A and B are shown apart, each in its own frame.
Chain A
Amino acid sequence: MDHPIGKSFPRKEGRKKVTGQALYVDDLSFPDMLHGATVRSPSPRGKITNITFGGDIPWDEFTVVTAKDVPGANYVALILNDQPYLADGFVNHAEEPVLLIAHRDKYLVEEARRNVVIEIEEQPAVFTLEESLAKKAIVWGEDNIFKKFLVDKGNVDDAWALADFIVEGEYETGAQEQLYIENNGAIAIARPGEGVTVWGSMQCPYYVHKALVKLFDLPEEKIRIIQTETGGGFGGKEEYPSLIAGHAALLAWKSGKPVKLIYDRAEDMVATTKRHPSRTRHKTAVSKDGKLLAMEIDFTIDGGAYCTLSPVVLSRGTIHAGGPYSCPNVRIHSRAVATNVPPHGAFRGFGAPQSIFALERHMDQCARVAGLTPEEFRRRNFIHEGETTATSQVIRERVDMDALLNRALQLSDYHAKRERFARENARSNGDGSFGIKRGIGFATFMHGAGFTGSGEVYLQSVVSAEATSEGTVQILAASTEIGQGTNTIFSQIASEALGVDFEMIDIIQPDTGRVPNSGPTVASRTSMVVGKLVESAVTALKQTLIGAGLLSEAYTTAAFRAACREYVTRFGPLKTSATYEPPPNVHWDDEKYQGDAYGAYAWAVYVAEVSYDELTYEARVEDFVALQEVGRVINPVLAAGQIEGGVAQAIGFTLFENVVWKDGRMANNQMTNYIIPTPVDIPPIRVYFEENPYAYGPGGAKGIGELPMDGAAPAILNAIENATGASFTHIPLMPEQLMERYEKEPSLVQG
């Protein structure tokens, strides 16, 4: 049989999706179902003094749930358990859920929601990370700090004296909305005595499960969570569904009826998580031959009103802050702070796009100061096999950033374009007229796959495989298909390991009543970590058949089917499981934040070409080359699709997507005024892979999903600097900021 790994099998559930048959949560309905709505805080912080149910609403027909109705613990179980399901007397951010209502008539529910008045006695609030750090008000704990890390390698303090250049910079990134096209939603059926079942759009059924066990104070087997077809997540459906699922379930518990709770776009944008805004400060010691002597990095993210996942986002951002460079002395101070805005959360890249943006912009500044080209400066500092990262992790895989850089610059025609643009930009300045300036820039970076440090060991993920009497093999895993291709990739891995046809593999819908806990669908871990478990589980299945004497070492698909059938008839169900085991020699020190942060990294060089219109102040990406080494590519079409989609989101992050805040609340919570790239905005995104099989990934694969979010923003701003001579340090970079800068420094136009 041909090898399935490396081939572009068509998407497993593709037919359902292109015909409109795929069922998303809002497409389901149950007899006697009620519609729920969430009544939210009008203020950012304060004491709830009064709630009135007004208007011409038949309130006696409504189910109303408040904090008093919570049967178990009123918090979303995650890391610190500080976020309540429903505010109990006090609110910490605008749009915080205060109470829930439900009724048969979906239109009446909406009208009723508008007729609940919540009065708040306001208390001082902080809205930005600066205000939080300055302790303008203490809004969380003793010092507004959710979590801190210190990474300390070598001796930074002694390095300054030896430096020929010291380069400092400060960089900022804004919030970003995930903007999956399917809004958050859940449907619940719950009966005291029987238990709770929730269907919903989600990435992590077992996160929801864990949270609802606490919320209802029920034994694990009484809570059942089923993922419905999910219309995009990007992290936005990592932790948030625990909240909405709990809300639907509380309404169902009290009313005794199925309850559907679906957000509309405005509610989804104003109330759910976004990417953490960040500020990074760099101070770098460089020698006159362009070597990095020391890096001091100060990284802060705004976590919003509750801790939720901020410590983990901070961790990934911290570890990636030093990039793919070998530097003997690195000190990174980082912290996640509290503000009175809705909690920020997981979004593709998970802190890394923020710190990598800062680093890769800063590397261009260091190059300039050292009198080197951006590529030459990086070449002198790239990490190699045997050298160490910021956390002192010795790189044991083959890595050749030089070769990646050569190829990316060639594919993008970088050198010729840089020369041509310099000439043309200078010429167009001569006559004093407005024109188009062009530039090209790049970023070099890495992204660790899987949970950080000992995370995977704690998770202890499990995957099962079961042979059916029809001779097909079912994969039981909690990993969700959210568009990234889980179903297809798992089928390819299983069919490769078993040597049977792709069509014989069935992926079971994630349902905590049926599938084991394979961990969350996050952190670029599904293919590499869970995929490896799929491989091990089906291999165990094959070994069982061979051991039972029903299968010889070499077999056909037909013989395999027959053996499964025979086994099930003779011995009953055939099910095998595999549990995560770390690759050998992985050591991580959680105290010192030193050691092997990730089992494997993907390595990449992204090149952006931009144009800048001096009349409209509009910057556009004209061409984009994304070259990466991600181990073995399991499905080239799906993999390229991940990269293209991620790059498009990153272009949005850089030049389009501006969350406008007003007193801690998103003011532009509509697709009309929060703009994501459309089909006419995206340049050709040219995707290339280098393949270097990873020994501990299935078929040699590493993680891929988050990587494309990391490199585009700095590459684009580096290109804009090349086009205009202006170094911008803040994203999103909107035409307004470009205009402001030009009005202040008209000389820039003359380049």
Chain B
Amino acid sequence: MKKSQVSFKVNGDAHRVEVFPMARLLDVLREEMQLTGTKEGCGEGECGACSVVVDGRIVNSCLVPVAQVDGSEIRTIEGVANDADLHAVQQAFIEHGGAQCGICTPGMVLAAVDLLERNPQPSEADIRTALAGNLCRCTGYMKIFESVIRAVDNAHR
């Protein structure tokens, strides 16, 4: 297989990389661009640790061949905070116990941010459904749900 050029935007910046077209987006982000905030938990689309947003849709980057994102806009965990200002979801995760070991956290935060952008007033059932593809082994999810609810409250204060 030959390498080819793929262009896309990551967190607002344009990039052009020379990669194998079937390389996983996850590896390209982590290895070519040193964006290691996106994690690998399973490599088979089960855990959501590798979640990123591609053209407004949350996807598991371990299942996406990089050729598929040619011309796309990608948002990773590194693009969620606005410089020093954390997103309300990130702040709430710190304060309300939404992160323990932190390995699922980038994916969880992105999934929660994505939910709030689509649905600014989610019910607990909405939150559970939106996060259904993101597994956490540490928290038992209670504090993650609470963090998302608090982030909603804070955004509306």
Contacts and interface: CB of A to CB of B under 8 A. Distances in A.
B135 interface: yes
A23 B39 CA distance: 11
B142 A672 contact: no
A647 B127 CA distance: 20
A732 interface: no
Closest 9 CB pairs of A and B: A20-B37, A483-B101, A231-B103, A17-B102, A648-B140, A20-B77, A483-B100, A14-B94, A644-B140
A11 B139 CA distance: 13
A502 B145 CA distance: 27
A671 B36 contact: no
Contact of A15 (B77, B94, B135, B136): B94
Contact of A20 (B38, B47, B97, B98): B38
B41 A182 contact: yes
Nearest to B107: A181
B41 A265 contact: yes
A161 B83 CA distance: 76
Interface in A225-244: 229-234
Interface in B91-138: 91, 93-106, 109, 127-129, 131-132, 134-138
Contact of A672 (B41, B44, B81): B44
Interface string A1-38: 00000001011011111111111101100000000000
B140 A10 contact: no
Given A232-B100, A483-B101, 6 more contacts: A19-B37, A20-B77, A21-B37, A179-B137, A637-B97, A641-B143
B96 A637 contact: yes
A107 B132 CA distance: 31
A26 B39 CA distance: 9
Contacts of A15: 86, 94
Contacts of B32: none
Most central of B35, B90, B95, B141 by chain A CB within 10 Å: B141
A416 B108 CA distance: 38
Interface in A115-132: none
A685 interface: yes
A538 interface: no
A509 to B, nearest CB: 15
A644 B142 contact: yes
Contact of B142 (A180, A678, A682): A682
Contact of A679 (B44, B78, B95, B131): B131
A17 B80 CA distance: 13
A646 B101 contact: no
Nearest to A484: B100
Contacts of A232: 100-101, 103, 137-138
A11 B97 contact: yes
Interface in A439-487: 482-485
B35 to A, nearest CB: 8
B143 A181 contact: no
Interface in B59-105: 76-78, 80-81, 86, 90-91, 93-105
A264 B43 CA distance: 8
A682 B105 CA distance: 18
Contacts of A637: 95-97, 143
A383 interface: no
Interface of A: 8, 10-11, 13-24, 26-27, 178-183, 229-234, 264-265, 482-485, 637-638, 640-641, 644-649, 670-672, 676, 678-680, 682, 684-685
Given A19-B80, A181-B41, A671 B97 contact: no
22 contacts: A15-B94, A17-B99, A18-B98, A20-B78, A21-B37, A27-B36, A180-B103, A181-B39, A181-B49, A181-B104, A232-B103, A265-B42, A640-B97, A640-B143, A641-B142, A648-B141, A671-B42, A678-B132, A679-B131, A679-B136, A682-B141, A685-B140
Contacts of A645: 100, 137-140
A16 B36 CA distance: 12
B46 interface: yes
B97 A483 contact: no
B94 A671 contact: no
Nearest to A12: B94
B25 interface: no
B53 interface: no
B103 A685 contact: no
A265 B44 CA distance: 9
Contacts of B104: 181, 231
B17 to A, nearest CB: 16
B109 A181 contact: no
Prevailing SS type, chain A contact patch: loop
A680 B103 CA distance: 20
A662 B44 CA distance: 22
A119 to B, nearest CB: 30
Contacts of A27: 30, 36
A483 B102 contact: yes
Contacts of B109: 18
Contact of A17 (B78, B105, B128, B139): B105
B47 to A, nearest CB: 6
B149 interface: no
Nearest to A28: B36
Contacts of A682: 140-142
B10 interface: no
B10 to A, nearest CB: 13
Contact of A680 (B37, B43, B128): B128
A229 B102 contact: yes
Contacts of B40: 26, 183, 264
B142 A685 contact: yes
B39 A231 contact: yes
Nearest to A231: B103
B135 A181 contact: yes
A646 B105 contact: no
B101 A230 contact: yes
Contacts of A649: 137, 140
A487 to B, nearest CB: 11
Given A482-B101, A670-B42, A671-B42, A19 B96 contact: no
Nearest to A16: B102
Contacts of A482: 101
A640 B140 CA distance: 10
Contacts of A644: 139-143
A225 B25 CA distance: 32
B103 A182 contact: yes
A18 to B, nearest CB: 4
A230 B100 CA distance: 10
Nearest to B105: A17
Contacts of A640: 97, 142-143
B101 A19 contact: no
B66 to A, nearest CB: 14
A680 B128 CA distance: 6
Nearest to A180: B137
A641 B142 CA distance: 8
A182 B43 CA distance: 12
B141 A181 contact: no
Nearest to B95: A10
A265 B132 contact: no
Contacts of A234: 137
A680 B129 contact: yes
Contacts of B144: 679
A20 B137 contact: no
Nearest to A229: B102
Nearest to B27: A106
A635 B37 CA distance: 27
A708 to B, nearest CB: 9
Most central of B40, B47, B104, B136 by chain A CB within 10 Å: B136
A178 B101 CA distance: 14
A239 to B, nearest CB: 19
A178 B103 CA distance: 15
Contacts of A646: 140
A24 B37 CA distance: 9
Nearest to A265: B42
A20 B106 contact: yes
A18 B105 contact: yes
